[in-house]
């Protein structure tokens, strides 16, 4: 188990600008965590700090497990725009498995099962780059699924998709959640937060302003910024 994840006074300053102010929090296994905030609030940056793609300027990102390899392997992230290799869909799902040392025939079996899970099995041999936006995002989820991560980060996964594709992605995320994977998802879509989340971390101008369970957050926001955001008044920060 690599959870819980603890951030100890983690901050990030880029070229003189403080993007994340010193922030401490703990994320436990179980509830689907939504990182909510306006565009530019620092949601993506915070996720990348947690996932290890960025190093904090100060403070520590601490997982329960001390082994860095295990910590890395038990996480996966899906980005707003998925990056696929110029290979078939199946080959793309196999790629990280191969990098992790998974041998045949296990590798093909796991990859095929992952494609099945997201409903892309019939397109396994097609070039991934030829897929539509929604299909590529589903493929990204299949790729993450194949790794059987303990934690799945999602950075605004449906921001670029149409409603139908969005629904498909959301149902896959729900399936991940139901199978026991910890969901940590950044979004500025209030409806999506309500549909998929159990708790909300509300970020505003690089600070964690409020943290609450979904129902309490939306019905009785404690902070003025959260209230304004919910009312749709907070535009770009």
Taking the complex as a whole, the smallest distance from the CB of residue 50 to another protein amounts, in Å, to: 12
Binding of residue 79 to another protein (CB under 8 A): yes
Taking the complex as a whole, the smallest distance from the CB of residue 65 to another protein amounts, in Å, to: 15
As beta bridge partners, residue 75 has: 151
Can you give the three-state secondary structure of the chain, one letter per residue?
Answer: CCCCEEEEEEEEEECCEEEEEEEEEEECCCCCEEEECCCCCCHHHHHHHHHCCCCCCEEEEECCCCCHHHHHHCEEEECCCCCCCCCEHHHHHHHHHHHCCCCCCHHHHHHHHHHHHCCCHHHCCCEHHHCCHHHHHHHHHHHHHHCCCCEEEEECCCCCCCHHHHHHHHHHHHHHHHCCCEEEEEECCHHHHHHHCCEEEEEECCEEEEEEEHHHHHHCCCCHHHHHHHCCCCCCC
Binding of residue 67 to another protein (CB under 8 A): no
**Exposed/middle/buried for residue 103 (C-beta within 10 Å: 0-12, 13-18, 19+):** exposed
Taking the complex as a whole, the smallest distance from the CB of residue 33 to another protein amounts, in Å, to: 18
Taking the complex as a whole, the smallest distance from the CB of residue 228 to another protein amounts, in Å, to: 32
Cα separation, 132 vs 60, whole angstroms: 39
Binding of residue 148 to another protein (CB under 8 A): no
Taking the complex as a whole, the smallest distance from the CB of residue 20 to another protein amounts, in Å, to: 18
Binder to another protein among 14, 53, 213, 224 (CB under 8 A)?
53
Taking the complex as a whole, the smallest distance from the CB of residue 123 to another protein amounts, in Å, to: 12
Q: Give the interface size with another protein as a residue count (CB under 8 A).
A: 21
Considering only the stretches 96-104, 172-180, 192-200, 225-233, report the one whose residues sit in contact with another protein under the rule CB under 8 A: 96-104
Binding of residue 95 to another protein (CB under 8 A): yes
Binding of residue 43 to another protein (CB under 8 A): no
Q: Which residue number, 37 or 82, has a Cβ lying nearer to another protein? A: 82
Binding of residue 85 to another protein (CB under 8 A): yes
Name the one residue in this structure whose structure tokens are 């404690």: 222
Q: Which residue number, 128 or 214, has a Cβ lying nearer to another protein? A: 128
Task: Print the binding letters for residues 105-134 with another protein: x by CB under 8 A, - otherwise.
Answer: ----------------------xxxx----
Binding site for another protein (CB under 8 A): 51, 53, 72-73, 76-77, 79, 82-83, 85-87, 95-96, 99-100, 127-130, 143
């Amino acid at each position: 188990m690599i959870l819980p994840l603890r951030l100890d006074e983690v901050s990030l300053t880029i070229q003189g600008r403080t993007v994340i102010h010193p922030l401490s929090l703990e994320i436990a296994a179980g509830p689907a965590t939504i990182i909510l905030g306006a565009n530019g609030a620092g949601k993506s940056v915070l996720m990348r700090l947690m996932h290890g793609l960025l190093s904090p300027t100060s403070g520590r990102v601490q997982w329960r497990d001390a082994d860095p390899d295990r910590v890395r392997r038990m996480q996966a992230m899906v980005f707003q725009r998925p990056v696929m290799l110029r290979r078939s869909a199946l080959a793309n799902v196999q790629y990280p498995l191969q990098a992790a040392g998974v041998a045949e025939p296990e590798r093909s079996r796991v990859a095929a099962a992952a494609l099945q899970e997201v409903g892309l099995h019939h397109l396994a041999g097609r070039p991934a780059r030829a897929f539509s936006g929604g299909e590529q995002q589903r493929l990204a989820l299949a790729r993450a699924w194949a790794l059987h991560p303990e934690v799945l980060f999602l950075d605004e996964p449906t921001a670029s998709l149409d409603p139908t594709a969005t629904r498909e992605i959301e149902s896959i995320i729900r399936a991940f959640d139901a199978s026991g994977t910890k969901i940590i998802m950044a979004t500025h879509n209030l409806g999506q937060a309500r549909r998929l989340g159990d708790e909300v971390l509300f970020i505003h101008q690089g600070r964690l302003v409020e943290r609450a369970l979904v129902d309490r957050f939306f019905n009785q926001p404690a902070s003025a910024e959260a209230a304004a955001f919910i009312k749709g008044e907070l535009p770009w920060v």
